[in-house]
Amino acid sequence: MSLAIQALLASLATLFGGWLVVRFLQGRASTMRLISGVAAGYLLSAALARIIPESLEQGGEGTAYWVLGGFLLVHVMEHGITSHFHYGEETHLEGGPMTGIMALVGLSLHSFMDGLALAAAVHTGSNLGLFMFMALLLHRIPEGATISSIFLVRGFGRRGALLASAGLAVATLLGAMSQSALHLSPAPVLALAGGLVIYVASSDLLPQVQKERGWKSTLALLTGFGMFLITALIAPHQHGG
Residue-wise pLDDT for 212-230, tens only, equals: 888 889 999 999 999 999 9
| Predicted confidence (pLDDT) at residue 211 exceeds the cutoff of 80 | yes
CB 107 within 8 A of CB 143: yes
**What gap in Å lies between CA 188 and CA 178, rounded to an integer?**
15
**What gap in Å lies between CA 94 and CA 107, rounded to an integer?**
19
Domain boundaries, the chain: 3-234
Residue-wise pLDDT for 144-190, tens only, equals: 888 888 888 777 888 888 999 999 999 999 998 887 777 788 889 99
**What gap in Å lies between CA 111 and CA 48, rounded to an integer?**
21
Q: At what angle do helices 29-46 and 128-153 cross, to 10 degrees?
A: 150
Ranked by mean pLDDT, the top range of 40-54, 69-83, 152-166, 224-238 is 40-54
**N-terminal to C-terminal alpha carbon distance within the chain:** 17
| Predicted confidence (pLDDT) at residue 241 exceeds the cutoff of 60 | no
